[in-house]
Amino acid sequence: MREVYHPLKFKLPPKVNEILEACPGFVVAGSVQDLVELATRDAVHGWQEVSYDVPGRGPVTEARVCRTRNGVAANYLEPYMRRRDPECMVIADDRPTNKQHFRERFGEDFDPLREETFEWLKTQELALYPFIAGQRGSGLDTLVIAPANAGFFALGLALLQGIISPENLTDDFNPAAVIYVAPPFRHTRFDGRQVVVHNRQPDMYELFSYNLYPGPSAKKGVYGMLISLGEEKEWVTMHCSTVQVITPYDNKITISHEGASGGGKSEMLELMHREDDGRLLLGENLEDGERRYLVLPRACELRPVTDDMALCPPSLQSGDGRLTVTDAEDAWFVRVNHIEHYGTDPHLEEMTIHPKGPQLFLNIRAVPDSTALIWDHVEDEPGVPCPNPRVVIPRESVPGVLTGSARVDIRSFGVRTPPCTSADPTYGILGMLHVLPPALAWLWRLVAPRGHANPSITDTKGLTSEGVGSYWPFATGLRVDQANLLLKQMVDSPRTRYVLIPNQHVGAWKVGFMPQWVAREYLARRGGFHFYPGQLKEARCPLLGYSLRNLMVEGQTIGSWFLHVEKQREVGEAAYDAGATQLREFFHEHLGQFLVDGLDPQGRRIIEACMDGAHVDDYIEMIESDPIIVDE
């Protein structure tokens, strides 16, 4: 095996050292470019087949990889492997957890499989490199050990989390976590399913990735490591994008947008999608095809801060009453299913066609030496495009990106909503923008609806919960601990405000992500968050906080039916109330699991008030903050 590329100059954990001494060869990567070369090192006619011998089946190809002019493209042969399985996490250790334990799911302890995994790795040519999960000072020194032929997976992880050349390591680098990648066990032990095992040992966090889709492991697995670290240190790694918005009049606000996968985090960083004539399509009525537009000649300037994961350690907080965040990643895992043709988002298209450095394309149709195009999605079956095409974009390639930390003025929460009509009432009753008191905003983060037609995961049926913080699928501990941490975070940030924004549908109108783009413009341009009496009204459903009586952007008024769904002739009050009942039952179902020992007493009062049918004004008094409505 050709030696790549750097000598080992740091201390290895005993188990890692044992594996490397026994394996037939290994490479130590020290840069992204090293991993780009490794990803297609064994390519034949431009294609690298990422295959493994599976007992009883012979060679099984997991992915086909090729080098493109703008990076590396990897495509999975199974449609199932193109999205994250929401049930992929299991816990191997005996520390407190609400997640399924390995022995509960598979009927045996993990230790024998752990040893079997190590023995398999000893038979493989391997790649490894060091990185810091999170950031130096607020993260974990980590190693990744993967089969060398899965260089594309290692590349994705290095883009997302960074890579440190061993030559540049300081003496204080001391691995506290190791990621082991062993794809064939998906077939031999787990019936082809994605499984990621977290083993939280006192002196070492072990993560075993038994699949090659980076979402559950390289992305969310590392996220779980940071959440676990935050549990110990009593801080949160938020599931959010963050953007500084600068108006044409030089006003600035910073918005963090939270929500389940598919909730619009990456879209909050995007420029508004325009029609060919430059107008904004607010929405299209699903019953009669009517379209409503907004003319906005000049949009606000966007300076992205975070795309999906934001560190919030106490050392970062400024003490001015606003939450302070910083990016937990070195690259962004951008879903591009909404980019269906050239010209949909010229900003993103230019960034990916002419990148400053290598990018990783997943589920994008590309051939060797071509330019991978983000609107050319692979098909899950003939005529059915994959709903989860992705590109990993290095943070440094994003124009205008802000480094360092940012103080958050507004935290928004995104919800994928289905159509709601009188013939088919659903929870799609959210208006284009709702204002929430902090206590009610906390409840939304506890129930975190996964929402309608989620493109990022394999299970999207019905109204289900992503779990506390919308990052619960990646957390390893107790949900009540995360609820308490989120509550404390809100109590400690009285100047940060909260809004709720739907996407996909507002009642009977198909809207895509336009509500959050319009809300972003409106909130930035109004110059402040205080509302005067008469500007807000209690939503008909108390869980939706306040609705705006009117919403005006650059002298153009948004139709009231976009703000108050019960006013839509296709919906009406009866269908709205039926949808409100669905929401209320959903909240009651999922909030009950937090009423356990260990819940903060203040949080208990908020949940019990919701169960008893609290109104919006009741929530105002439950967490002290700057007033939402002020006297003139």
Half-sphere exposure (Cβ direction) of 370: Cα atoms closer than 13 Å:
14
CATH number of the domain that 483 lies in? 3.90.228.20
Together in a domain, 209 and 252: no
CA distances from 199 to 15, 173, 196, 517, 618 (A): 14, 21, 10, 41, 43
Q: Is 391 inside any structural domain?
A: no
* Residue ending a domain, choose from 165, 200, 233: 233
570-416-599-204 Cα dihedral, nearest 10 degrees:
170
pLDDT tens-digit series, residues 404-458: 999 999 999 999 999 999 999 999 999 999 999 999 999 999 999 987 876 666 5
**388 within some domain:** no
Considering the domain architecture, whether residues 112 and 214 belong to the same structural domain is answered as yes
Q: Which of 196, 218, 233 is the last residue of a domain?
A: 233
The residue among 170 and 568 whose pLDDT is bigger is: 568
Q: Taking Cα atoms as reference points, which of 424, 413, 392, 429 lies closest to residue 466?
A: 413
Instruction: Give the residue with greater pLDDT, 329 vs 458.
Output: 329
Are 209 and 217 spatial neighbours (Cβ–Cβ below 8 Å)? yes
Reported confidence tier of residue 81, pLDDT bands at 50, 70, 90: very high
How big, in percent rounded to 5, are the helix, strand and coil portions of the chain?
30, 30, 45
Q: Decide if pLDDT at 459 tops 70.
A: no
In this structure, the answer to whether residues 217 and 242 fall within a common structural domain is no
Please indicate, yes or no, if residue 484 is contained in any of the structural domains.
yes
Q: Name the DSSP letter for residue 109.
A: -
Residue 339, pLDDT above cutoff 80: yes
- pLDDT per residue as tens digits for the range 31-69: 999 999 999 999 999 999 999 999 989 999 999 999 999
- Listed residue (308, 229, 260, 142) closest to 476, CA to CA: 229
Q: How many domains does the chain have?
A: 2
Same structural domain, 292 and 182: no
Determine the pLDDT at residue 529: 85
- Rounded to an integer, the average pLDDT of 187-194 is 96
Give the pLDDT score at 458. 57
DSSP 3-state of 384: strand
Question: pLDDT class for 2, splitting at 50, 70, 90?
Answer: very low
In the predicted model, what is the mean pLDDT of residues 478-502?
Answer: 97
Contact 318, 324 (CB under 8 A): yes
Taking residues 204-224, what's their average pLDDT? 95
Task: Assess if residue 357 is contained within a domain.
Answer: no
Q: What is the pLDDT of residue 1?
A: 44
Bigger pLDDT: 567 vs 463: 567
Is 7 within a domain?
Answer: no
Looking at the structure, do residues 455 and 494 belong to the same domain, yes or no?
Answer: yes
In a domain, 117, yes or no: yes
Burial of 590 (0-12, 13-18, 19+ CB in 10 A): buried
**DSSP H or E segment with residue 255:** strand 252-259
Residue 555 and residue 450 share a domain:
yes
Same-domain pairing of 128 and 249: no
- Is residue 208 located within the same domain as residue 253? no
Domain housing 228: 14-41+85-233
Domain identity same for 229 and 244: no
**Segment 253-299, tens digit of pLDDT:** 999 999 998 899 989 999 999 999 999 999 999 999 999 999 999 99
Is there a single domain that holds both residue 316 and residue 224?
no
pLDDT band for position 461 (cuts 50, 70, 90) = low
- Asked if pLDDT for residue 99 goes beyond 70, the answer is yes
Q: What is the DSSP string of 308-377?
A: SEEE--GGG--SSSSEEEEE--SEEEEE-TT--STTS-HHHHHHHHS-SS-EEEESB---TTS---TT-B
For residues 84-97, average pLDDT: 94
Measure CA 241 to chain center.
Answer: 8
Average pLDDT of the segment spanning 385-394: 95
Query: What pLDDT, in 10s, does the model give residues 568-622?
Result: 999 999 999 999 999 999 999 999 999 999 999 999 999 999 999 999 999 999 9
Average pLDDT, the chain: 94
- Residues 226, 263: one domain? no
Which helix or strand (DSSP H or E) is residue 464 part of? none
Q: Are residues 116 and 211 in the same domain?
A: yes
Assess if residue 55 is contained within a domain: no
Distance CA 557, CA 511 (A): 17
CATH number at residue 214: 3.40.449.10
* Radius of gyration of the chain from its Cα atoms, rounded to whole angstroms: 24
For residue 1, being part of any structural domain is answered with no
Among candidate residues 182, 215, 233, the one where a domain is terminated: 233
